[in-house]
């Protein structure tokens, strides 16, 4: 029994340090990485995390790590027993162990005033957050890079001119991306008529996703639309 428990513990230790795309930080390396020279999204959690939240974070980190995004994803594992390793880091940012997991985005140019993530602890939520706050584009389901850039241009610039560009770009898309292209164009058309369209549509779709009566395939489709709407944030 003792050997079995030891084996499981060693397996857990090995997996904790082989999560693709996640940089493990402690109180000897933290300030060398969080130095204001780059964007870093950090999770503060118990030393050996597990569960759905952890799986979503691993998926997010792997996606970012495999992309060209100029951002790092890191973990600070805080021990609740013994020497309480890295608790000083949690204390520095006023994070309590009973609030784990906690997420902080350290933007380039600042190492002392991170932005807290308070959304759902899900893969797509993390991606939307870094796209909005750090300008990092990885690409969520439904999003198209060229139209994503036009969406951001639409918010700031000449809406009629950008809409014309989007219509042209949507027509040139591959068949698999046609529905996404049409939705980008639709959002621009509606937002040109009503300034609060994106906000209200986001709220409507979020309610639909949370509705237990809505079928899974529909929720998936609504999720893709939410991803596209986030491009207009």
Tens-digit pLDDT profile for residues 62-75? 999 888 788 999 99
Helices (H) and strands (E) in the chain, counts: 10, 5
Superfamily grouping for domain 145-230: Endoplasmic reticulum resident protein 29, C-terminal domain (1.20.1150.12)
Q: What six digits make up the tokens of 100?
A: 């784990």
For residue range 157-215, list pLDDT tens digits in order: 899 999 999 999 999 999 999 999 999 999 999 999 999 999 999 999 999 999 989 99
Q: What is the pLDDT of residue 18?
A: 61
In DSSP terms, which residues pair with 116 in a beta bridge? 104
Q: What percent of the chain has pLDDT over 70?
A: 92
For residue range 27-62, list pLDDT tens digits in order: 999 999 999 999 999 999 998 888 999 999 999 999
How many CA atoms within 13 Å lie on the side-chain side of 24?
A: 15
* CATH 1.20.1150.12 domain extents, the chain: 145-230
In DSSP terms, which residues pair with 106 in a beta bridge? 40
* Average pLDDT over every residue of 3-24: 56
* CATH 3.40.30.10 domain extents, the chain: 2-134
The CATH label, of 3.40.50.2300, 1.20.1250.20, 3.40.30.10, 3.40.309.10, for the domain at 2-134 is 3.40.30.10
Q: What is the pLDDT of residue 118?
A: 93
Cα separation, 97 vs 106, in Å, equals 20
Q: What is the pTM of this model?
A: 0.71
pLDDT band at 2 (very low <50, low <70, confident <90, very high): very low
pLDDT band at 143 (very low <50, low <70, confident <90, very high): very high
Cα separation, 220 vs 130, in Å, equals 21
Element (H, E) at 207: helix 197-210
pLDDT averaged over the chain?
Answer: 89
Answer for the pair 211, 169: CB distance below 8 angstroms, yes or no: no
């Amino acid at each position: 029994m003792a050997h079995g428990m030891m084996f499981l513990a060693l397996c857990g230790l090995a997996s904790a340090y082989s999560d693709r795309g996640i940089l493990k930080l402690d109180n000897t390396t933290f300030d060398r990485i969080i130095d204001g020279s780059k964007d870093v999204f950090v999770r503060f959690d118990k030393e050996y995390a597990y569960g759905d939240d952890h799986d979503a974070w691993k998926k997010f980190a792997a996606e970012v790590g495999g992309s060209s995004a100029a951002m790092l994803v890191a973990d600070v594992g805080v021990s609740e027993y013994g020497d309480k390793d890295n608790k000083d880091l949690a204390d520095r940012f006023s994070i309590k162990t009973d609030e784990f997991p906690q997420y902080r985005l350290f933007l380039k140019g600042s190492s002392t005033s991170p932005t807290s993530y308070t959304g759902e602890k899900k893969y797509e939520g993390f991606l939307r957050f870094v796209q909005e706050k750090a300008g990092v584009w990885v690409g969520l389901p439904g999003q198209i890079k060229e139209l994503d850039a036009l969406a951001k241009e639409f918010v700031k610039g000449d809406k009629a001119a950008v809409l014309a560009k989007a219509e042209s770009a949507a027509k040139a898309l591959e068949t698999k991306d046609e529905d996404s292209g049409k939705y980008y164009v639709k959002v621009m058309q509606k937002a040109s008529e009503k300034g609060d369209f994106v906000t209200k549509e986001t709220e409507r779709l979020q309610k639909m996703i949370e509705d237990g009566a809505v079928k899974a395939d529909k929720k998936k489709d609504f999720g893709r639309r939410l991803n596209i709407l986030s491009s207009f944030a």
